[in-house]
Structure 1
């Protein structure tokens, strides 16, 4: 988990290439209400994502950013349709690239982060993409959140004895040919 204070917002815009060349480190928060793609999946969007980013140059000479983002997000439980708060954690390991071709040549341990030519980039968008990849497939309470009797549709139905599928063939075999 995080140990740094998150009393300041993460800057929204910046030049990650310059940050990497300077070996910059950033810690801060960003309001989930500013993350449009995630906000549409949530029941409530008043949470804050806590973010730690370290920019630098990898051993292969690639400009990289590594870090973590985490948030406690409120979804709609798919069992009871009530609110359920789930922790979402994203591990960030990206290499900055100028083209998709350059991204295809990266080591498997790094995902590409396609940057515009002018360098000025929306850091919130990058964090949002990493959080999106970490969202649960289905949101639900870990404990039983609905009465098990509500799952029943009434009296149990006794299964019929299985019919022999070859019974019809037996009848046809015994009938005379025309």
Structure 2
């Protein structure tokens, strides 16, 4: 899903999908199964800054790093990302409290954006709690 990010925000457009993780190529390497509900809304704030409000939620299955068995995991991502035209603008926006900025060009792939934010939200090592691995001897 490619959009003009500047027009997307100025016009207050939105994109929503409820998809199996198989619809997200990079996420299929992390999750064995699951469904994600994604919403991206373009906005203009009081200062005239353009931003994307991104929310992703869902239940997925990840491989446990301890036993390699399947483990349920809840995804909850909520981010506001301000659009920057260049590095200087990105630094200025990142300096604002509770602000994250991305450098945007003429087009932005919303699937890639969702994948990036979900991957950044994952813990480094996903494991069942101590004593909960279903595979004997994996403790």
Q: TM-score, normalised by structure 2?
A: 0.82
Q: Is the 8 A contact 1:30 1:124 kept in 2?
A: no
The match for 1:39 is: 28
Q: Where do 5+ consecutive residues of structure 2 fail to align?
A: none
Aligned equivalents of 2:133 and 2:80: distance in 1?
39
Q: Deviation at 1:71?
A: 2.7
User: What is the alpha-carbon root mean square deviation over aligned residues?
Assistant: 2.4
Q: Where do 5+ consecutive residues of structure 1 fail to align?
A: 1-11, 153-178
The match for 1:71 is: 58
1:91 maps onto 2:81 in alignment? no
1:104 maps onto 2:94 in alignment? no
Aligned equivalents of 2:16 and 2:24: distance in 1?
18
Aligned equivalents of 2:122 and 2:14: distance in 1?
25
Residue-by-residue CA offset, 1:77-127 (whole Å, 9 max, x unaligned): 1222211120111112101111122100012322112111xx222111111
Q: How does 1:128-139 map to 2 (within 5 A)?
A: 128-139=115-126
SS of aligned partner of 1:23: coil
Residue-by-residue CA offset, 1:3-30 (whole Å, 9 max, x unaligned): xxxxxxxxx1111211211112332224
Out of 52, 60, 67, the residue aligned to residue 80 of structure 1 is: 67
CA gap of 1:31–1:14, structure 2 versus 1, over 3 A, is farther
Q: Deviation at 1:31?
A: 4.1
Aligned equivalents of 1:151 and 1:140: distance in 2?
11
1:28 maps onto 2:36 in alignment? no
Q: Is the 8 A contact 2:66 2:138 kept in 1?
A: no
Residue-by-residue CA offset, 1:45-69 (whole Å, 9 max, x unaligned): x433211222111222111011311
Q: Which structure features the higher share of strand residues?
A: 2
Out of 141, 144, 156, the residue aligned to residue 131 of structure 2 is: 144
Q: TM-score, normalised by structure 1?
A: 0.66
